[in-house]
Amino acid sequence: MQTAGFLSGKRCPVVKANTQYYNMSVKKHYDVIVIGGGITGAGVARDCALRGLKVLLLERYDLTNGATGRNHGLLHSGARYAVTDAEAASECIKENMILRKIAAHCVEETNGLFITLPEDDLAYQKKFIDSCRNAGIDARAIDPQEARRMEPAVNPDLTGAVLVPDGAVDPFRLTVYNAYDAQLHGADILTYQEVTGFIKDDRGRVRGVTTYSHADKSEDSFYGTVTVNAGGIWGTLIAGMAGAGINMFPAKGSLLIFGHRVNNVVINRCRKPADADILVPGDTICLIGTTSTRIPIEECDNVRPTPEEVDLLWREGIKLAPSLADTRIVRAYAGVRPLVAADNDPSGRNISRGIVCLDHESRDGIPGLITITGGKLMTYRLMAEIATDMVCRKLGSITPCTTADTPLVGSDENARPDKEKPAASTYRAAWGRHGSNIKDIASGSAKDKSVVCECEEVSVGEVSYAIETLGARNIVNLRRRTRLGMGPCQGEVCACRAAGLIAKADNCADKAKKDLASFIQERWKGMYPVTWGATVREAQLTSYLYQGLCGLDHYASESREERPVIQGGRNNEI
Given the rule CB under 8 A, which of 59-67, 195-203, 253-261, 466-474 is the region that contacts other proteins?
253-261
Distance, in Å, from the CA atom of 148 to the CA atom of 43, rounded to the nearest integer, reads 38
Distance, in Å, from the CA atom of 565 to the CA atom of 62, rounded to the nearest integer, reads 16
Could you tell me if 540 and 566 are in contact, meaning their C-beta atoms sit under 8 angstroms apart? no
- Cβ atoms < 10 Å from Cβ of 446: 8
Given the rule CB under 8 A, which of 21-29, 368-376, 500-508, 537-545 is the region that contacts other proteins?
537-545
Residue 145 or 402 having the CB closest to other proteins:
145
Q: Does 203 bind other proteins (CB under 8 A)?
A: no
Q: How far is the CB of 304 from other proteins (least distance, A)?
A: 25
Q: Does 447 bind other proteins (CB under 8 A)?
A: no
Q: Does 41 bind other proteins (CB under 8 A)?
A: no
Q: How far is the CB of 492 from other proteins (least distance, A)?
A: 6
Q: How far is the CB of 421 from other proteins (least distance, A)?
A: 9
Given the rule CB under 8 A, which of 143-151, 177-185, 227-235, 423-431 is the region that contacts other proteins?
423-431
Q: How far is the CB of 422 from other proteins (least distance, A)?
A: 4
Q: Does 553 bind other proteins (CB under 8 A)?
A: no
Residue 309 or 492 having the CB closest to other proteins:
492
Q: Does 424 bind other proteins (CB under 8 A)?
A: yes
408: phi then psi, degrees, rounded to nearest 5: -70, 145
Binding mask 323-362 for other proteins (x = CB under 8 A): x--xxx----------------------------------
Could you tell me if 492 and 545 are in contact, meaning their C-beta atoms sit under 8 angstroms apart? yes
Q: How far is CA 277 from CA 77, 353, 564, in A?
A: 15, 18, 38
95: phi then psi, degrees, rounded to nearest 5: -70, -35
Question: Can you tell me whether residue 241 is helix, strand or coil?
Answer: helix
Distance, in Å, from the CA atom of 54 to the CA atom of 56, rounded to the nearest integer, reads 7
Q: How far is the CB of 284 from other proteins (least distance, A)?
A: 6
Q: Does 151 bind other proteins (CB under 8 A)?
A: no
Residue 203 or 421 having the CB closest to other proteins:
421
Distance, in Å, from the CA atom of 316 to the CA atom of 386, rounded to the nearest integer, reads 37
473-507: b (≥16 Cβ within 10 Å) or e: bbbbbbbbbbbbbbbbbbbbbbbbbbbbbbbbbbe
Q: Does 389 bind other proteins (CB under 8 A)?
A: no
Distance, in Å, from the CA atom of 303 to the CA atom of 130, rounded to the nearest integer, reads 38
In the window 516-535, what residues touch other proteins (CB under 8 A)?
Answer: 534
Could you tell me if 199 and 130 are in contact, meaning their C-beta atoms sit under 8 angstroms apart? no
Residue 314 or 380 having the CB closest to other proteins:
314
Q: How far is the CB of 533 from other proteins (least distance, A)?
A: 8
End-to-end CA distance of the chain: 33
Closest among 410, 388, 413, 412 to 401, alpha carbons compared: 388
**Can you tell me which of 412, 448, 454, 553 binds other proteins, judged by CB under 8 A?**
454
Sign of the torsion angle spanned by Cα atoms 10, 14, 19, 22: negative
**Can you tell me which of 163, 451, 484, 502 binds other proteins, judged by CB under 8 A?**
451
Given the rule CB under 8 A, which of 9-17, 187-195, 454-462, 524-532 is the region that contacts other proteins?
454-462
329 burial (CB, 10 Å; 0-12 / 13-18 / 19+) is buried
**Can you tell me which of 148, 261, 304, 447 binds other proteins, judged by CB under 8 A?**
261
Residue 424 or 566 having the CB closest to other proteins:
424
Could you tell me if 37 and 64 are in contact, meaning their C-beta atoms sit under 8 angstroms apart? yes
Binding mask 480-509 for other proteins (x = CB under 8 A): -------xxx--xx----------------
Please report the beta strands in 45-139, taking only residues with DSSP state E, as ranges in sequence order. 55-58, 74-75, 107-108, 112-116
Given the rule CB under 8 A, which of 129-137, 196-204, 254-262, 503-511 is the region that contacts other proteins?
254-262
**Can you tell me which of 419, 532, 561, 569 binds other proteins, judged by CB under 8 A?**
419
**Can you tell me which of 423, 447, 543, 553 binds other proteins, judged by CB under 8 A?**
423
In the window 276-295, what residues touch other proteins (CB under 8 A)?
Answer: 281, 283-284
Residue 382 or 429 having the CB closest to other proteins:
429
Question: Can you tell me whether residue 377 is helix, strand or coil?
Answer: helix
Q: Does 149 bind other proteins (CB under 8 A)?
A: no
Could you tell me if 167 and 472 are in contact, meaning their C-beta atoms sit under 8 angstroms apart? no
Distance, in Å, from the CA atom of 432 to the CA atom of 417, rounded to the nearest integer, reads 11
Number of residues that bind other proteins (CB under 8 A): 35
Could you tell me if 122 and 430 are in contact, meaning their C-beta atoms sit under 8 angstroms apart? no
Residue 219 or 418 having the CB closest to other proteins:
418
In the window 455-474, what residues touch other proteins (CB under 8 A)?
Answer: 455, 457
Q: Does 429 bind other proteins (CB under 8 A)?
A: yes
Q: Does 170 bind other proteins (CB under 8 A)?
A: no
Q: How far is the CB of 322 from other proteins (least distance, A)?
A: 8
Residue 326 or 561 having the CB closest to other proteins:
326
Distance, in Å, from the CA atom of 552 to the CA atom of 513, rounded to the nearest integer, reads 8
Distance, in Å, from the CA atom of 200 to the CA atom of 242, rounded to the nearest integer, reads 9
Residue 10 or 416 having the CB closest to other proteins:
416
Residue 253 or 259 having the CB closest to other proteins:
259
Residue 18 or 490 having the CB closest to other proteins:
490
377-401: b (≥16 Cβ within 10 Å) or e: bbbbbbbbbbbbbbbbebbebeeeb
Residues of the shown chain interacting with other proteins in the complex, contacts defined by CB under 8 A:
1-2, 259-262, 264, 281, 283-284, 322-323, 326-328, 419, 422-425, 428-429, 451, 454-455, 457, 487-489, 492-493, 534, 537-538, 541
